[in-house]
Structure 1
Amino acid sequence: MTILMEDEQELDIGFDYENVLRQVIEKALELEKCPYECEVNVTFTDNEGIRNINREFRELDVPTDVLSFPMVDYEAPADYGILESDDALAMYFNPESGELLLGDIVISVERAFEQAENYGHSIKREMCFLTAHSMLHLLGYDHMEDEERIVMEKKQEEILNALGIKRDC
């Protein structure tokens, strides 16, 4: 498992976020029964940084809390069958490590602090929630329809509960 974390802000978030977010990523993969060693990139930025990325890639000129850039074009969420094709090795796996290239997560730490305060929980809980949410996107989940949203919300809570990360943390 390779998790590359880049902190553009060099902020003191107040907890060992690299270790804790690694646990969230690993738990998401475990609960979604991912059979591969994976590579995930996580970037921490501010509202302006994520706004620029949002504008460039989604044509939305607003800041957001988290962006997910999945590498795999799943036919259904966490359906790893697409990775068994002849072309999958060249398309989805790192040729040097053999790991599945899941994708990128970009978190606005500034927005995470704002949301933690608004929701009345810790920055740790908010960062873990955003990471779990984004990991599900990297595994093919979405929340555009109510049915999808309900499934995704349940899975986010399963990941956080499995790690003992509650709303009041």
Structure 2
Amino acid sequence: MNIYIENEYDREIDVDYTDIINKVVCQAVDFVKCPYECEVNVTIVDNNTIHEINREQRKIDRPTDVLSFPMLDYEVAGDFSMAEDDISNFNPDSGELILGDIVISYDKVIEQAAEYNHSRKRELAFLVAHSMLHLFGFDHMVDDERIEMEEKQNIILNNLGITREN
């Protein structure tokens, strides 16, 4: 699996973000039992940058904590059976399934960790788990979907021993 991490944050990040991102991405891929080796891109930015991306891509004029850009068009969330229907779903050099891109505002990681009274490590891990589920086709537009995503996020984080206490 290739996990490409770009740190575009202009200040120091006070957690081992590469370790956290790698562990959560791998755990999420294992959790959904993806049958392929995968590729994921993660970029860490500030509030100004994610605000600009959010405005350009989603027409929402404010910063957000995380943006997910899935590459696959799922018929059923977490069902990868359609992936082989289109060779462009795979990186021609590595053969890996291209899941998509994640953009995280580390400013929001800091703000939300304080707001929810848990560590920055936990907040970053949560945002990665949440975004990975979006890359697998899950959403939270209605309550049933939101509840399902929350359960899956918690399982992924609990499997790694990442709780609100750490």
Answer yes or no: same fold by TM over 0.5: yes
1:35-114 equivalences in 2 (<5 Å): 35-85=35-85, 88-89=86-87, 91-114=88-111
Distance 2:47 2:66 in 1: 10
Shift of 1:168: 1.3
Given residue 8 of structure 1, which amino acid in structure 2 is its aligned partner?
E
Q: What is residue 144 of structure 2 aligned with on the other side?
A: 147
Distance 1:114 1:54 in 2: 18
Shift of 1:12: 2.7
Q: What is residue 16 of structure 2 aligned with on the other side?
A: 16
Q: What is the TM-score with the length of structure 2 in the denominator?
A: 0.98
Q: What is residue 130 of structure 1 aligned with on the other side?
A: 127
Distance 2:132 2:126 in 1: 10
Q: What is the TM-score with the length of structure 1 in the denominator?
A: 0.96
Q: Percent identity?
A: 57
Of residues 120-129 and 11-20 in structure 1, the stretch that sits farther from structure 2 once superposed is 11-20
RMSD: 0.8
Q: What is residue 156 of structure 1 aligned with on the other side?
A: 153
Gaps in structure 1 of 5+ consecutive residues: none
Shift of 1:13: 2.2
Shift of 1:10: 4.5
SS where residue 4 of structure 1 aligns?
Answer: strand
Distance 2:57 2:48 in 1: 14
User: Which residue among 112, 128, 134 is the counterpart of 1:115?
Assistant: 112
Contact 1:13–1:123 (Cα < 8 Å) also in 2: no
Distance 1:154 1:54 in 2: 26
Gaps in structure 2 of 5+ consecutive residues: none
